[in-house]
Amino acid sequence: YMKKNTESLKWKLCKAYFAIIDNSLNDEVTFEELIIISKVLPKDAEDIISKNNKDYNFFFLKILLSKLDAQTLSEFKIDIAEDTISNTYEKILEGLTLRLESFLPYRKSFKILSHNSNIKVLNFLKLIENNCSFMFNLLDIVEENQNQGIKTLKSLALNIVFVRAINVFLTENGNNLDSTVRNLDKYLRDFEDVGYMLGVIKN
């Protein structure tokens, strides 16, 4: 129960954090603001985040991305369960597009967080890069019983593809994903061509 409660408080604080950034268009968020917006008790909030930790950027991005990724993977699993028509390439593209769609409501915040300094951009990209587990789980859903070594290689390559797409994602506005998905498709095709060449991907 305690773990569940902590997760729920974390998510409340995380939602408050992104709401503040979205409204203030500023990446400076104070502990006091977080308390007021999230309605989490100061003591509980202190247990979750250190009051001295003024840069909440990395902390809350991590929580947000893991939540969005879990939701995306479960949605994707349902989507392709009945799909007997799409090939592996199309399924992977669909999974990555779903992931980008889940980022859309937070695009304004992501831009603000990655705009002010290169370190913040790197933080954001580092989080995405570190998150090979999303790609690994995606591949698990798309191609069952595949060699673990090959799956690891593929997930690393897919991460590189995705990080390149995220750079485009951060330049688009509103709810538009056209340019991002177009580029994602292109990067994915390039990766697929190299994969065939190296024998990592079979026809």
Question: pLDDT tens across 45-83, in order?
Answer: 998 887 656 678 878 888 898 899 999 999 999 999 888
Ramachandran category for residue 202: left, alpha or beta (phi over 0 → left; psi -120 to 50 → alpha): beta
Question: pLDDT tens across 134-182, in order?
Answer: 999 999 999 877 788 888 888 888 888 888 898 899 888 888 899 999 9
Give the global pTM: 0.86
Ramachandran category for residue 199: left, alpha or beta (phi over 0 → left; psi -120 to 50 → alpha): left
Question: pLDDT tens across 75-120, in order?
Answer: 999 999 888 898 888 999 999 999 999 999 999 888 887 775 565 5
In angstroms, the Cα distances linking 65 to 15, 36, 60, 62, 171 are: 12, 23, 8, 5, 19
Q: Please report where in the chains the tokens 């879990």 appear, as a residue.
A: 70
CA–CA separation, 3 vs 5, rounded Å? 5
Q: Please report where in the chains the tokens 């028509």 appear, as a residue.
A: 85
> What residues contact residue 19 under an 8 Å CB cut-off, 6+ apart?
37
